[in-house]
């Protein structure tokens, strides 16, 4: 599950040495919650100025007292399958259209090469 955690002002200050100065929103994959807080595999940190830094999935524990809000996103399997189906159907329709109209064939010549010089 993908999550975005907004830090409190105290969280920004306390976690600055780990996440970078002015860290405001921490995005990543939920790993677990334990007695110390929420553990994320961090993929991005956004600052209060709107700048963001990419991360490579490092695990970071965010103490619950430093979390102002939490937004979770789950992949909707039904919508993903539907979107993939629409994509495949569109590709097939485009390929069929080019095949029937002769599109994408290059210069429109007879298809034979000129004799060598």
Domains by residue range for the chain, with CATH: 2-73 (2.30.30)
Give the per-residue pLDDT at 10: 95
User: What tokens does 13 get?
Assistant: 């200050």
Q: Which residues of the chain have pLDDT under 50?
A: none
Give the per-residue pLDDT at 94: 58
Give the per-residue pLDDT at 95: 60
**13-31 b/e (C-beta count within 10 Å ≥ 16 → b):** eebeeebeeebbbbbbeeb
């Amino acid at each position: 599950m993908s999550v975005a955690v907004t830090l409190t002002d105290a969280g920004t200050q306390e976690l600055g040495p780990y996440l970078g100065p002015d860290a405001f929103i921490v995005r990543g994959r939920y790993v677990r919650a334990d007695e110390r807080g929420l553990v994320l595999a961090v993929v991005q940190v956004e600052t209060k100025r709107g700048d963001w830094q990419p991360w490579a999935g490092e695990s970071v524990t965010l103490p619950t007292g430093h979390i102002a809000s939490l937004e979770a996103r789950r992949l909707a399997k039904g919508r993903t399958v539907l979107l993939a189906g629409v994509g495949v159907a569109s590709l097939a329709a485009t390929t069929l259209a080019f095949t029937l109209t002769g599109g994408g064939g290059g210069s429109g010549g007879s298809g034979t090469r000129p004799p060598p010089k």
